[in-house]
Amino acid sequence: MRLGFGLPQVGPAAGPDALVRVARRAEELGYDDVWTFDRLLWPLAPRTPYPASADGKLPELSKTVLDPLEALTFVAAHTQRVGLATSVLNLPFYNPVLLARRLTTLDVLSRGRLQVGFGNGWSADEFEAAGAPMKVNGKRTDEALRLIKTIWTTDPVEFAGEHYRVPRSVIYPKPVQQPHPPIYLAAFSQTTMRRVAQEANGWLPAGLPIGRMQEMFASIKDMARAADRDPSTLQLIVRANVFLSAKPLGAQRAAFAGTPEQLRDDIHATRAAGADELHFDVQFSPGVTSEDAMVDRMEQLWELAHQ
């Protein structure tokens, strides 16, 4: 099972020095990938409540968030081996032609280290700010995925859809990775799980009990088989939102919340569930308030994963 770590994107610690230090230390330790996420704004009166807080507001740290692709591009110039991944980009917020060029550039400049995780987004405030209609985001996502793949894999490129059109054109460069960089999708509903089965290289769950995650991935594989795809080619890429506590938490605890021993058990269970990669995000974890604390936690999690 590969291991990944979330880069410092949020709060006062986010900046060039922290990005370089964390990415280089991850590479030194042997982490396979470093990850970023997408957050567009911090609404003062959110119309869509944030599910992980009592008052529906996002964490205070989310008031400051570095762009996920610019952060990865910066890190690419300061590392040699570690993979560069997103969990996730909210695909409906982006023009897919411009996004395909940005992603291709990152893959070329990093010499083929890009992995792309996409999601649909959930915040009504962010949809409005991005100019993306929330009602048709599923259809736009399907079309955007097809268009990005078309740009990456065909020459010349030509596309005519309901939302996007590209006249017959040459679009270069192509990604280093062929036929294209891995595409992972976040999905929780039957419709989005079917999209994983039909269009993606893997599934990106977060916040699920490990047993439930295993059941859902089995269902996705069944959908892939029904779509005449080889289910064994689909990867399970698990995001762990880490919350470390001094005392053991009870049976109702969330996965990757608890003592180091409980986290170690969750890592082992994720590996046993057949995950291809587990990547840790500690930016909102209690006690991780500085660059030093983030590096310490990264080293601690690396040790736990190898016990």
Q: Where are the domains of the chain?
A: 2-305
CATH superfamily of 2-305: Luciferase-like domain (3.20.20.30)
Mean of the per-residue pLDDT values of the chain: 96
CA distance 167 to 160: 8
Nearest of 135, 107, 102 to residue 121 by alpha carbon: 135
Does 229 have pLDDT greater than 90?
yes
Query: How, if at all, do strands 277-281 and 257-258 pair?
Result: unpaired
CA distance 277 to 273: 11
Q: Note the pLDDT of residue 116.
A: 98
CA distance 62 to 36: 13
Nearest of 36, 154, 140 to residue 96 by alpha carbon: 140
CA–centroid distance for 288 within its chain: 20
Q: Note the pLDDT of residue 51.
A: 84
- Average pLDDT for 159-174: 97
Does 135 have pLDDT greater than 90?
no
Cα dist. 268→126, 136, 215, 257, 261 in Å?
A: 36, 39, 17, 14, 11
Does 299 have pLDDT greater than 90?
yes
Residue 207 binned pLDDT confidence (cut-offs 50, 70, 90):
very high
Half-sphere exposure of residue 86: CA atoms within 13 angstroms, side-chain side: 27
Tokens standing for residue 256: 């990757």
- Average pLDDT for 126-154: 94
Residue 213 binned pLDDT confidence (cut-offs 50, 70, 90):
very high
The helix (run of H) or strand (run of E) holding residue 243 is strand 243-244
- Average pLDDT for 111-121: 97
**From the CB of residue 34, how many other CB atoms can be counted at a distance below 10 Å?**
26
pTM over 0.85: yes
Angle formed by the axes of helices 137-153 and 190-199, nearest 10°: 10
Residue 134 binned pLDDT confidence (cut-offs 50, 70, 90):
confident
- Average pLDDT for 134-152: 93
Residue 151 binned pLDDT confidence (cut-offs 50, 70, 90):
very high
| Locus of tokens 């088989």 | 225
CA distance 102 to 85: 13
Nearest of 110, 88, 114, 87 to residue 100 by alpha carbon: 114
